[in-house]
């Protein structure tokens, strides 16, 4: 059966490669010198046509940095970015182990996508709002969140700041202006535009950044966001993370357009397509978008081109729907290795220091894990009190809820 659509009455796209086939991506022909950086303050949306179909890169295949988009950022800041990426990867591995041993119910890794939220959040100011999906937890490290509290959330134990109400990875971190993750995909994208409109209304220099997956960009919310952003021009950065997959559904089923980026041009919003495994390019495009937003020029729409190197979640087995070697042949490489190799090549880092860093983070994560499980794990408890079912449903407790709450306790809720 040919499912490429040619022999069927309805065109039904399929993934380019399926299990049993060997995946091969063309080596990217894009190089860091391909695309000029337009002046952020005078750029018109149509000036970004090449940027929406090409690929903005700074780190070349040989680990050197070049091109118009090469950002001003110190090596020490790059080392901070590298450290956070390593932290996220090791953290994710530990959480997956916890999931496998029943200490938490579910998990989602950011494998291969670590650079995105970390570089982009580092390019922002402290007062800027982060409106994430489940694949941008790394932003919390940049904003200084304590790892123990992140693990307590994932477990849903007595120290979980969302009180065991949400599934793991649905972090909330008000102090870091990191807005509560919600499972229904896409909803944050249009909400972020509202947050940005409020900032504009209040006259504050606050920018809102948000992300949506390639898959979820098929939801209405994606289009609401672009349309409202194009009408009201609030300070928002709208990222589509194209990691090729939405669970088992390939990105070519999410949209028939040539790239994800160029859809924004129809809304008269500038559009950039960036190498999502290139820390420097991510940092650079985000600074550019922030400069525009903060100057009152409205939204930027960014396609972050990357690859979901791991399973969708702990419940998923990607070998059922894609070749197992596909992650290895993805031409974008590993975002951590690319930044590490670059820093080594300029003498700012060494292999040995990198190993030491991994060792140090490993102990840090281990220590945080041990501390977190003191407050309970999913297998053994203790759990948050069942009273938390009834609190914060409303700002107060209406009588009908109070009655049910009493009933639960009478029946022996803990």
Partner 1 sequence: MVQAVNSALDNMLSKDEDVLVFGEDVGYFGGVFRTTDGLQEKHGAHRVFDTPLSEGGIAAIAFGMGLNGLKPVCEIQFADYIFPAYDQIVNEIAKLRHRSGGEFWTPITIRTPAGGGIRGGHHHSQSPESQFTHTPGLKVVYSSTPYNAKGLLISAIESEDPVIVFEPKRCYRGPFYGDPHKVPTWSGHPEAEVPDVHYTVPIGEARLVNEGNDCTVIAWGTMVHVCEEGIRQSGASCDLIDLQSLIPWDREAVVRSVKKTGRCVIVHEAPKTSGYGAEMAASVQERCFWSLEAPVTRVTGWDTPFPHTTEWDYMPSPQRIAEAIRGALEG
Ligand X SMILES: Cc1ncc(C[n+]2csc(CCOP(=O)(O)OP(=O)(O)O)c2C)c(N)n1
Q: Which residues are catalytic?
A: 308, 312, 321
Q: At 65, is the secondary structure helix, strand, or coil? A: strand
Q: Are 371 and 124 in contact (CB under 8 A)?
A: no
Residue 115 or residue 155: which is nearer to partner 1 going by CB?
Answer: 155
317 binds ligand X (CB under 6 A): no
Place of tokens 């894009």: 30
Three-class SS state of 130? strand
Query: Is 240 a residue that touches partner 1 (CB under 8 A)?
Result: no
Which of 9/347 has CB closer to partner 1? 9
Return the SS3 of 23.
coil
Distance between alpha carbon 308 and the CA centroid of its chain, in Å? 11
> Which of the ranges 9-17, 48-56, 144-152, 355-363 carries the binding residues for partner 1, by CB under 8 A?
9-17
Q: Where in 242-281 is the site for ligand X (CB under 6 A)?
A: 243, 245-247
Determine if 227 is a binding residue for partner 1 (CB under 8 A): no
CA distance 216 to 132: 13
Which of 149, 242 has the CB closer to ligand X?
Answer: 242
Which one of Mg ion, ligand X, partner 1, none interacts with residue 191, CB within 5 to 8 A by kind?
none
Q: How many residues bind partner 1 (CB under 8 A)?
A: 58
Q: Which residues 289-308 are close enough to bind ligand X by CB under 6 A?
A: 308
Binds partner 1 by CB under 8 A, chosen from 72, 203, 320, 396? 320
Nearest to 267 by CA among 278, 277, 257, 279: 257
Contact set for ligand X, span 78-137 (CB under 6 A): 135
Is there a contact between 227 and 14 (Cβ–Cβ < 8 Å)? no
312 binds ligand X (CB under 6 A): yes
Nearer residue to Mg ion within complex by CB, 80 or 253: 253
Q: Which is nearer to partner 1, 227 or 388 (CB)?
A: 388
C-alpha dihedral sign at 59, 62, 63, 64? negative
Asked whether 413 and 386 are in contact (CB, 8 A), the reply is yes
Minimum separation from the CB atom of position 219 to partner 1 (A): 5
Residues 34-93 that bind partner 1 (CB under 8 A): none
| Whole-number Å distance between alpha carbons of 145 and 159 | 14
Cα–Cα dist 104/168, whole Å: 8
Please give the Cα distance from 275 to 31 (Å, whole number).
10
Which among partner 1, Mg ion, ligand X, none contacts residue 253 (Cβ within 5 to 8 A by kind)?
A: partner 1
Phi and psi at 118, nearest 5°, equal -70, -50
How many separate helices (H) and strands (E) can be counted in the chain?
12, 7
Stretch that binds ligand X, among 12-20, 154-162, 165-173, 208-216 (CB under 6 A): 208-216
Going from the C-alpha of 226 to that of each of 132, 194, 229, 332, the distances in angstroms are: 17, 12, 5, 27
Which residues contribute to the site for partner 1 (CB under 8 A)?
1, 3, 8-10, 12, 14-15, 18, 105-106, 156-157, 160, 164-167, 170, 182-186, 213, 215-216, 218-220, 246-249, 253-255, 315, 320-321, 378, 383-386, 388-390, 393, 400-401, 404-405, 408, 411-414
């Amino acid at each position: 059966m040919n499912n490429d659509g040619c022999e069927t009455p309805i065109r039904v796209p399929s993934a380019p490669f399926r299990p049993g086939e060997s995946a091969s991506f063309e080596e990217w022909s894009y190089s860091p010198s391909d695309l000029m950086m337009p002046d952020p303050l005078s750029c018109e949306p149509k000036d970004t046509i090449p940027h929406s179909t090409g690929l903005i890169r700074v780190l070349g295949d040989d680990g050197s940095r070049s091109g118009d988009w090469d950002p001003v950022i110190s090596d020490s800041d790059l080392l901070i970015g590298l450290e956070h990426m390593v932290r996220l990867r090791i953290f994710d591995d530990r959480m997956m182990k916890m999931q496998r041993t029943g200490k938490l119910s579910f998990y989602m890794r950011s494998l291969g996508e670590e650079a995105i939220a970390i570089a982009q959040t580092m390019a922002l100011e402290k007062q800027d709002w982060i409106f994430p999906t489940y694949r941008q937890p790394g932003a919390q490290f940049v904003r200084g969140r304590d790892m123990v509290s992140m693990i307590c959330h994932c477990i849903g134990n007595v120290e979980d700041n969302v009180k065991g109400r949400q599934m793991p990875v649905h972090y909330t971190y008000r102090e870091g202006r990191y807005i509560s993750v919600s499972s229904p995909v896409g909803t944050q994208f249009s909400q972020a535009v509202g947050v940005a409109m409020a900032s504009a209304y209040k006259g504050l220099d606050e920018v809102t950044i948000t992300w949506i997956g390639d898959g979820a960009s098929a939801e209405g919310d994606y289009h609401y966001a672009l349309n409202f952003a194009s009408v009201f021009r609030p300070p928002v950065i709208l990222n589509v993370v194209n990691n090729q997959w939405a669970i088992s559904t390939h990105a070519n089923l999410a949209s028939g357009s040539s790239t994800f980026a160029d859809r924004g041009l129809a809304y008269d919003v500038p559009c950039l397509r960036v190498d999502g495994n290139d820390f420097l390019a991510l940092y650079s495009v985000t600074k550019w978008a922030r400069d525009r937003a903060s100057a009152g020029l409205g939204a930027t729409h960014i396609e972050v081109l990357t690859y979901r190197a791991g399973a969708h979640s702990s419940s998923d087995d990607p070998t059922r729907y894609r070749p197992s070697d596909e992650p290895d042949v993805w031409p974008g490489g590993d975002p951590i290795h690319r930044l590490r190799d670059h820093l080594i090549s300029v003498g700012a880092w060494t292999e040995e220091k990198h190993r030491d860093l991994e060792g140090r983070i490993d102990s840090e994560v281990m220590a945080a894990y041990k501390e977190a499980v003191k407050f309970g794990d999913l297998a053994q408890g203790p759990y948050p009190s069942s009273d938390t079912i009834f609190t914060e449903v409303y700002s107060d407790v209406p009588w009908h809820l109070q009655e049910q709450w009493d009933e639960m306790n009478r029946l022996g809720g803990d």
